[in-house]
């Protein structure tokens, strides 16, 4: 499905990272894995360190901290928001929505359209599409898109397919009407028949959590995880990305009539360095145009890796410069989505640490 | 050995066999890869090993194996690995 939006822009992005950093070298002590193989894995996949929340920290805590930071710095006014979209797979509760929790904690006005979207690694692009759709209404002139996940709390520490790469983070993206004449192009695809490639099997109504679902099981290759934990079929997900993403980008660029060499940056979701470099090679995009340094420095925080890539690699440059950027997210659902837009003239674009107070 | 042998002279095949076996031993030194016809079924490689193998082959032969080719079927024994390398442009 293709989309075209006009007169919309991203006015600012703030990434919120838990200050606790864990080293890959320490993680590997959880596994029966020779040191030489760990080092090779670190080099190829780009694992090095990741940011993780403490046991008591929830998604709304990171989001409230980030929004308060913007209010206190005078970069955003509470009454200036007309809608808030929260994209997360790790909500505070089944009910109420996390967006309402954040609204209540911050005392935001009642005239605020609060919406939760359950999405993962494609969640930044999906959230932007939803924000742009809301901005088609005259009554909506500014939307806060909150992407947040704290999935480290759902990953088995004994699962070396998932634990070393997982990260926790939030981002707040302010989306407004703009005057740049360049349209924004997007496309989106979903395939629920492959939904089991990435899932948390227990904890919903289909399979409620119980003492049995909390028991770690031997799932082969020296990995142990419970049904309460995140499960990723790494081979299936890798193959999905390599098969589906390059043609999606071809289709997007053809739809926008923009040659690939006119794109300044390819800011893609970052599961690991190897997967991104294979995508870049397939698309004949120089590795330097497709940064792959987020998972190495912070871990993979699903929908937050794209805004983290933006704030880490472009940061304050986006306050004075403008770039043609191609965004792409792919993951749970399965969902894959991309967007081509001019990005720049932001009021802010940076990162802030969330101070942890609880125990890990 | 019980591995499908591609159409190479015996001498060339031995060279390739040893080269690829050496790369595999660099990843999992505890196994003799020349004795297996399916590394995955025999528990000698897992999905992370596959990633490391692709990276090592890319580096050794100065190629980039396409992401869509990175499936266990293309890496289950030395014969199919060599067939893939040939498709990627590696000369006999």
pLDDT in tens, A307-334: 999 999 999 999 999 999 999 999 999 9
Buried b (16+ CB within 10 A) or exposed e, A286-295: eeebbbbbbb
| DSSP states along A300-333 | B-GGGHHHHHHHHHTTTHHHH-EEEEEEEEEETT
- Which sign, positive or negative, has the C-alpha torsion A312, A266, A182, A118? negative
Structural contact between residues A66 and A308, judged by C-beta atoms closer than 8 angstroms: no
How far is Cα A303 from Cα A282, in angstroms, rounded to an integer?
23
Yes or no, beta carbons of B48 and A161 under 8 Å apart: yes
C-beta of residue A117 within 8 angstroms of C-beta of residue A85: yes
- Conformation bin of residue A299: beta by default, left when phi > 0, alpha when psi is -120 to 50: left
Q: According to the model, what pLDDT value does residue B5 have?
A: 55
Q: Residue B72 is nearest to which of A235, A243, A278, comparing CB atoms?
A: A235
Q: Does A287 touch chain B (CB under 8 A)?
A: no
Higher pLDDT, A90 or B1: A90
What separation in angstroms does the CA of A124 have from each of A158, A281, A303, B63? 29, 24, 5, 33
* In the predicted structure, residue A87 carries a pLDDT above the cut 90: yes
* Min distance A44 CA to chain B CA atoms (Å): 7
Assign residue A113 a region: left if phi > 0, alpha if psi is -120 to 50, beta otherwise? beta
Domains, in order of start, for chain B = 10-87 (1.10.1200.10)
pLDDT category of residue B8 using cuts at 50, 70 and 90: low
CA distances from A348 to A65, A319, B87 (A): 16, 6, 48
- Say if residue B9's pLDDT is above 90: no
Average pLDDT score over chain A: 94
Residues A186 and A129: beta-carbon distance below 8 Å: yes
Write the CA distances from A103 to A71, A98, A113, A139, B85, integer angstroms: 14, 9, 10, 19, 56
The distance of A207 to chain B (nearest Cα, Å) reads: 28
Q: Is the pLDDT of residue B14 over 70?
A: yes
pLDDT of B2 reads: 47
Sequence-distant (6+) residues with CB within 8 A of A275 are A238, A241, A242, B67
* Chain B contacts in chain A segment 158-177 (CB below 8 A): 160-161
Integer Cα distance of A120 and A330 in angstroms: 8
What pLDDT is stored for residue A341 in this prediction?
Answer: 97
CATH second-level architecture of A1-360?
A: 3-Layer(aba) Sandwich (3.40)
* Model confidence band, residue A351 (pLDDT cutoffs 50, 70, 90): very high
In this structure, of A34-38, A118-122, A136-140, the range with the lowest mean pLDDT score is A34-38
- Give the integer Cα–Cα distance in Å for A111 and A134: 14
pLDDT of residue A290: 96
Q: Is the pLDDT of residue B1 over 70?
A: no
Q: What is the mean pLDDT of residues A7-28?
A: 93
Q: Write out pLDDT tens, residues A203-228.
A: 999 999 999 999 999 887 778 899 99
| Interface touch B67/A161, C-beta < 8 Å | no
The span from the CA of A62 to the CA of A171, in Å, is 9
| Rounded average pLDDT over B68-92 | 90
B30 at A interface, C-beta within 8 A: no
- Do A221 and B47 count as a contact with CB atoms less than 8 A apart? yes
Disruptive mutation site among A40, A162, A218, A249 for chain B (greatest number of B CBs within 10 Å): A40
pLDDT at position A360 over 70: no
Asked if A203 and A151 count as a contact pair (C-beta separation under 8 A), the reply is: no
| Chain A residues lying within 8 Å of B72, measured CB to CB | 235
Angle between helices B47-61 and A234-256 (to 10 degrees): 60
Q: Is residue A11 predicted with pLDDT exceeding 50?
A: yes
Task: Measure in Å the smallest separation between the Cα of B39 and chain A Cα atoms.
Answer: 13
pLDDT range class, residue B10, cuts 50, 70, 90: low
- C-beta of residue A118 within 8 angstroms of C-beta of residue A79: no
* Beta pairing class for A184-190 and A335-344: antiparallel
Instruction: Report the alpha-carbon distance of residue A37 to residue B25 in Å, rounded.
Output: 12
**Interface contact flag, B64 A281, Cβ < 8 Å:** yes
Q: Which chain B residue has its CA at the smallest distance from A34's CA?
A: B28
% of chain A with per-residue pLDDT over 90: 82
Q: What is the pLDDT of residue B29?
A: 87
**Average pLDDT, stretch A132-146?**
96
The answer to whether the Cβ–Cβ distance between B71 and A275 falls below 8 Å is no
Q: Quick check: B67 contacting A, CB < 8 Å? A: yes
Distance from CA of B10 to the nearest CA of A (A): 33
A184 within 8 A of A338, measured Cβ to Cβ: no
Asked whether the beta carbons of residue B47 and residue A234 sit closer than 8 angstroms, the reply is yes
As a whole number of angstroms, the distance between CA A164 and CA A44 comes to: 13
List, in sequence order, every residue forming a beta bridge with A223; answer none if it has no partner: none
pLDDT tens digit sequence for B34-54: 888 899 999 888 888 899 999
For residues A243-256, average pLDDT: 96
ipTM: 0.79
């Amino acid at each position: 499905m293709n989309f075209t939006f006009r007169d919309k822009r991203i006015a600012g992005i703030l990434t919120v990272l838990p200050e606790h950093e864990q080293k890959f070298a320490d993680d590997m002590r959880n596994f029966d894995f020779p040191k030489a193989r760990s080092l090779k894995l670190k080099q190829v996949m780009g694992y090095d360190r990741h940011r993780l929340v403490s046991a008591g920290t929830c998604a709304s805590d990171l989001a409230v901290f980030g929004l308060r930071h913007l209010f206190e710095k005078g970069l955003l006014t509470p009454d200036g928001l007309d809608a808030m979209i929260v994209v997360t797979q790790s909500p505070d509760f089944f009910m109420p929505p996390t967006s309402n929790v954040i609204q209540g904690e911050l005392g935001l006005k009642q005239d605020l359209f609060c919406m939760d979207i359950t999405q993962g690694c494609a969640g930044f692009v999906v959230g932007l599409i939803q924000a742009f759709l809301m901005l088609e209404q005259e009554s909506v002139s500014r939307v806060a898109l909150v992407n947040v996940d704290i999935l480290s709390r759902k990953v088995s520490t004994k699962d070396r397919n998932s634990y070393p790469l997982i990260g926790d983070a939030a981002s707040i993206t302010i989306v407004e009407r703009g005057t740049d004449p360049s349209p924004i192009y997007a496309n989106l695809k979903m395939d629920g028949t492959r939904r089991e490639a990435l899932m948390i099997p227990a904890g919903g109504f289909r399979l409620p959590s119980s003492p049995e679902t909390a028991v770690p099981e031997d799932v082969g290759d020296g990995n142990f995880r419970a049904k309460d934990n995140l499960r990723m079929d790494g081979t299936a997900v890798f193959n999905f990305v390599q098969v589906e993403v390059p043609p999606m980008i071809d289709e997007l660029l053809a739809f926008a009539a923009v040659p690939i060499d006119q794109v300044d940056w390819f800011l893609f979701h970052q599961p690991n360095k190897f997967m991104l470099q294979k995508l870049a090679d397939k698309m004949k995009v120089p590795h330097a145009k497709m940064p792959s340094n987020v998972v190495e420095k912070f871990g993979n925080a699903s929908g937050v890796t794209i805004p983290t890539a933006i704030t880490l690699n472009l940061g304050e440059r986006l306050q004075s410069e403008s770039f043609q950027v191609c965004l792409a997210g792919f993951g749970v659902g399965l969902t894959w989505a991309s967007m081509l837009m001019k990005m720049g003239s932001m009021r802010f674009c940076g990162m802030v640490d969330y101070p942890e107070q609880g125990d890990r | 050995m019980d591995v499908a042998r591609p159409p190479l002279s015996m001498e060339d095949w031995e060279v390739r066999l040893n080269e690829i076996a050496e790369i595999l031993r660099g990843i999992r030194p505890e196994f003799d890869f020349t004795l297996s016809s399916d590394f995955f079924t025999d528990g000698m490689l897992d999905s992370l090993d596959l990633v490391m193998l692709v990276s090592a082959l890319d580096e050794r032969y100065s190629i980039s194996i396409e992401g869509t080719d990175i499936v266990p079927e293309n890496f289950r024994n030395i014969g199919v690995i060599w067939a893939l390398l040939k498709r990627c442009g590696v000369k006999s």
